[in-house]
Structures are given as C-alpha cells and as structure tokens.
C-alpha cells in the first residue's frame, strides 16, 4: 500500500503527553467572548481512504541484521461529524489610559472530529478515530495533535506545556465539499515506533445543494460578530 502522509513522519510525534500549564497574561482584560459552531456529517470514501498498522517490533535476523515486522494493510469505512469552531474574544490592553481604551478582537479557528461510526477489517481493533482539536489555517488547511498545547487559548492565556510520550497527530485540507487528512496514531503513549497510519477522504452527507467552503463560514461569523459589537475595533488578531 502506498500511504500518502504529506511529509509527516511518525518520529516527529515522539514528543509527549500532557503536562500543560496555561498561564494568564495579566496585561489583557477580556471584555466578551463566544464560540460559533457549525457541525457537518461526513461519509468516508473507502475507495480512496487507507489505513495501515505496524507493530513497531524490531528483531534481528539470522545474519544479525535489524528487521521490523511487516506492515498490515486494512480497510476503513463509516461516517463521522466535524465540528467547525470559531472562537472569538474582545479585550482591552491593561496598560492603556483607562479613560481612552480601545477594544480589540481576537479570533481562533479550529475543527474537531466527533461521533465516529467506523468499520475496519484486517487490523487490530484498537484504532481510535482522532478526537483532538485541529487548528485551521488560511481557511482550508488544518493541523492538530493530542500534544500539550493543541487547544484554543484566549488572548490572555499562554501555554508552556511539555510532552512526555508519543503523540497522535494529523494534517489535512478542506477541498471544496471534501475533507482530506493524513495522520499517525501510536498504539500506546510509550510507543515511539509503529502504530497506525491513515489517509482519509470524506464527503458531506447528505450532499447539500450549496457547499459553503470554510472561508464562507468565517465570513459569515465575522459579519455576525461585527454587527454584535458596536464599539470601534481598532485591531484584529488571528
């Protein structure tokens, strides 16, 4: 099987599970906040999606050469939901003149896979569909992991977490009405080799009459937020 992994290497995820202190930034005062959510139902295209498993067990052959167990290829089918999450905060800078404070808008866009209903065959039964947050960049590309700081953070917070085990991760794109992503999942937190590799392509079900790309969703969210807040927005951060 020719696994497409978009340049991600399993070794990159030998980082860590979660020791993630989130600190508050004292100079920022949150005025208001909210989350706008859109959920869509997707069906996996089993003809173009791929899933494989490697035990990661290394052995020495009779000549003393290091060898690994062969990769097992399996099939993957089913459905899942995607939550598209648009986080927003309005805030003031704590060091500004109290009588003349501007209000700023900060936004952060994420997605998350939920409610998977999967069928797999030919592989061990411990594959888990990714359920962690993925950050969305440029309205279409996304990347996520179950690492320490892969989570939405308000502008008055920062994360300095470190990882202490193998990390699951994925990257992907929203391509018109389709969602396509590749990822790696270790079978245990201490497994730095082996595990699952997957390439998944899925389409919305039912197929709507008009497919809104993610950029259109963001445009709608932005318009709604600007109408909601009547004070001047002197800066926007993304």
* Domain membership flag for residue 58: yes
d(CA 156, CA 170): 27
Altogether, the residues listed in the chain come to a count of 238
In a domain, 1, yes or no: no
CA distance 138 to 79: 26
pLDDT of residue 207: 60
- Is residue 62 domain-resident? yes
pLDDT of residue 147: 84
Residue 221 CA, chain-centre distance (Å), reads 20
Q: What is the reported pLDDT for 17?
A: 35
Total number of domains in the chain: 1
How far apart CA 183 and CA 5 sit, in angstroms, is 7
Q: What is the 3 state secondary structure string of the chain?
A: CCCCCCCCCHHHHCCCCEECCEEECCCEEEEEEEEEEEEEEEEECCCCCEEEEECCCEEECCCCCEEECCCEEEEEEEEEEEEEEEEEEEEEECCCCCCCCCEEEEEEEEEEEEEEEEEEECCCCCCCCCCCEEEEECCCEEEEECCCCCCCCCCCEEECCEECCCCCEEEEEEECCEEEEEEEECCCCCCCCCEEEEEEEEEECCCCCCCCCHHHHHHHHHHHHHHHCCCCEEEEEC
**Contact in structure between 186 and 194 (CB atoms under 8 Å):** yes
Predicted confidence at residue 3, as pLDDT, reads 40
Residue 2 pLDDT: 41
Q: What string of pLDDT tens digits covers the 238 residues of the chain? A: 444 434 333 333 333 333 445 555 558 889 999 999 999 999 999 999 998 887 765 566 666 665 556 677 778 899 999 999 999 999 988 766 666 678 889 999 999 999 999 888 776 677 889 999 999 988 789 999 988 788 898 988 888 777 667 788 999 999 988 999 999 988 766 665 678 899 999 999 886 554 454 555 555 554 444 444 433 333 343 3
Q: Does some domain include residue 183? A: yes
Contact 109, 143 (CB under 8 A): no
Distance CA 53, CA 181 (A): 17
Domain contains 163: yes
| Cβ neighbours of residue 76 closer than 8 Å, sequence gap 6 or more | 44, 46, 49, 50, 51, 118, 119, 120, 198, 200
Per-residue pLDDT, 67:
56
Angle at 164 between CA 162 and CA 166, to 5 degrees: 115
Does 4 reside within a domain?
no
223 in a structural domain: yes
Structural domain containing residue 70: 10-237
Q: Are 183 and 176 in contact (CB under 8 A)?
A: no
Does a structural domain hold residue 114? yes
As a whole number of angstroms, the distance between CA 134 and CA 118 comes to 20
Indicate whether this model's pTM tops 0.85: no
């Amino acid at each position: 099987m020719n696994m497409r992994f978009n340049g991600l290497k399993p070794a990159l995820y030998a980082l860590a599970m979660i020791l993630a202190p989130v600190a508050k930034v004292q100079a920022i005062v949150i005025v208001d906040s909210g989350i706008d959510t859109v959920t869509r139902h997707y069906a996996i295209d089993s003809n173009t999606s791929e899933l494989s498993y490697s035990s990661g067990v290394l052995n020495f052959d009779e000549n003393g050469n290091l060898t690994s167990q062969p990769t097992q290829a399996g099939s993957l089918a089913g459905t899942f939901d995607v939550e598209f999450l648009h986080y927003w905060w309005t805030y003031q800078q704590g060091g500004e003149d109290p009588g003349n404070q501007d209000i700023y808008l900060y936004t952060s866009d994420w997605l998350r896979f939920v409610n998977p209903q999967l069928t797999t065959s030919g592989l061990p039964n411990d594959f888990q569909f990714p359920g962690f947050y993925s950050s969305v960049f440029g309205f279409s590309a996304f990347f996520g992991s179950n690492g320490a700081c892969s989570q939405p953070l308000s502008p008055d917070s920062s994360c300095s977490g470190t990882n202490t085990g193998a990390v699951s991760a994925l990257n992907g794109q929203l391509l018109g009405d389709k969602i396509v992503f590749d990822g790696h999942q270790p079978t245990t937190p201490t497994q730095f080799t082996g595990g699952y590799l997957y390439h998944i392509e899925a389409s919305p079900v039912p197929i709507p009459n008009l497919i809104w790309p993610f950029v259109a969703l963001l445009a709608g969210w932005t318009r709604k937020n600007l109408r909601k807040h009547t004070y001047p927005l002197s800066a926007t951060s993304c």
